[in-house]
Structure 1
Amino acid sequence: MANCMMTENKFYKKAACYWANVPATIDGVLGGFGYISDIDINGSRDFLNKIGALDRHPDCKLALDCGAGIGRVTKNLLISRFEKVDLVEQNEKFINTAKQLIGEDNACLGTVYKIGIQHFKPQKRYDIIWCQWVLGHLNDYDLIEFLERCGEMLADNGVIVVKENINTFAELEYDDDDSSVTRSCSLLQKIFNEAQLSIILCDVQTNFPEDIYPVYMFALVPVKRV
């Protein structure tokens, strides 16, 4: 795991340093793949529609965007579906850009938390907690604890959505550039189990370039609700 390759402190600090040098643009936060943003949002919208069609579907009152970056997902997906959207992002440059893109006077923009998600403790009950391309920046132990905290702070019928790159091999793959890991489906399933979460929906993002990782979407709820 990541904290076997370097100390936990260095693992997180190196990631923060990497993102501090990334431009606060769609192309920047998507690693040069800005052109896939609309395709990504369309796939996420379809997945949210499937969640909304469940018998026990979440309300559309309050969402949380974890590792929100410049607010790309909030602005283009969540804010049109929820009364309020809170954001969690540790990079101040990204936060400032997100507020500009979304509009600080936008009534749907909720609380913006400047903190790394490994330290974030939800204080509200959320209908949707959206985690996209951020969980690879947590080691296994912090990820399990983060997901446990999120599971405890879901509203009635609330859902955690995880959208992440998937490693098609069994091993964990470490990226030294941005200090992140890419997990396999089996490793993620093990982590979800440890966090007492069950997968109620799973889908694969389509129409992405063939030379990038497969991207999976998981809808998770506490085991006790299944």
Structure 2
Amino acid sequence: MGDIVENEASFYSNAEHYWREVPPTVDGMLGGYGSISSIDINGSKAFLKKFLGDGEAQTASGCALDCGAGIGRISKRLLLPLFRTVDLVDVTQEFLNKARTYLGEEAKRVGNFFCSGLQEFVPEDGRYDVIWIQWVIGHLTDEHLVEFLRRCQKALRPNGLIVIKDNMSYEGVVPDEVDSSVCRELDIVRSLAARAGLRIVHEEQQLDFPKEIYQVHTLALR
């Protein structure tokens, strides 16, 4: 990713500009693939429920953080049904404004709407049981991703969990000039998580997505 790091400012500003032009809808959040939302949420829910509970090593259901939350699609259908409180962070203020209405009555259980890029965002130490990071790591350089994951680790409660769910390329790092992002292969994501001092406790591939899109993997990290 050296070429991107050299143009770090434009890498981030171009992405911000791209998302400002995207309509604040589920279809907009999913790049025209709004039809996969239910498959995605159901897969995520099954994944997450493996960890939640009251047992000694189980993850509690107090507070979750939705990273790259957009209009709150994941908060509405995955996190708010499972957690007492959810915080949202996104770089686009218009999306967060829309989230307040999109979430309806459940917006009352949102603790914070943070408008920030993840490269700058510092989650509160010891606040979160789950930090959900979906379809957004491609907007971070390697160094910023590692640093963000380290901050996330500090933000976890006991038995807390960081979950990355994202597209994985079949080989290497594939840039996307349209939205100013990259798609990394799974081994690279694993190695960046390890650099952040995290270990993978569970990993799955999302099934039943359209064949023309990248494979999507979910990683649970501590």
Q: TM-score, normalised by structure 1?
A: 0.93
Query: Which residue does 1:102 correspond to in 2?
Result: 103
* Counterpart AA for 1:203: E
Deviations 1:100-123 (A, max 9, x none): 111377332111111111100011
Q: Find the residue that maps to 1:85 and give its secondary structure.
A: strand
> Distance between the aligned counterparts of 1:3 and 1:159, measured in 2?
32
Segment drifting more, 4-13 vs 72-81: 4-13
> Distance between the aligned counterparts of 2:3 and 2:111, measured in 1?
33
Q: Find the residue that maps to 1:12 and give its secondary structure.
A: helix
Query: Which residue does 2:64 correspond to in 1?
Result: 63
- Residue correspondence of structure 1 range 10-159 to structure 2 within 5 A: 10-52=10-52, 56-103=57-104, 106-124=107-125, 125-159=127-161
TM-superposed CA distance for 1:215, in Å, is 0.4
Gaps of 5+ in 1: 222-226
Deviations 1:53-81 (A, max 9, x none): 68612100000000100100000110011
How many residue pairs get matched? Answer: 220
> Structure 1 86/121 Cα, relative in aligned 2: closer, same or farther at 3 Å?
same
Q: Find the residue that maps to 1:202 and give its secondary structure.
A: strand
> Distance between the aligned counterparts of 2:73 and 2:196, measured in 1?
27
Q: Is the Cα contact below 8 Å between 1:65 and 1:85 reproduced in 2?
A: yes
* Counterpart AA for 2:195: E
* Counterpart AA for 2:121: F
Identity percentage over the alignment?
44
Q: Is the Cα contact below 8 Å between 2:100 and 2:107 reproduced in 1?
A: no
Segment drifting more, 55-64 vs 65-74: 55-64
* Counterpart AA for 1:108: R
Q: Is the Cα contact below 8 Å between 1:167 and 1:182 reproduced in 2?
A: yes
Moved over 4 A (4+): none
Measured on the aligned residues, the alpha-carbon RMSD in Å equals: 1.5
> Structure 1 3/115 Cα, relative in aligned 2: closer, same or farther at 3 Å?
farther
* Counterpart AA for 1:139: T
Gaps of 5+ in 2: none
Q: Find the residue that maps to 1:51 and give its secondary structure.
A: coil
* Counterpart AA for 1:161: V
Q: Find the residue that maps to 1:98 and give its secondary structure.
A: helix
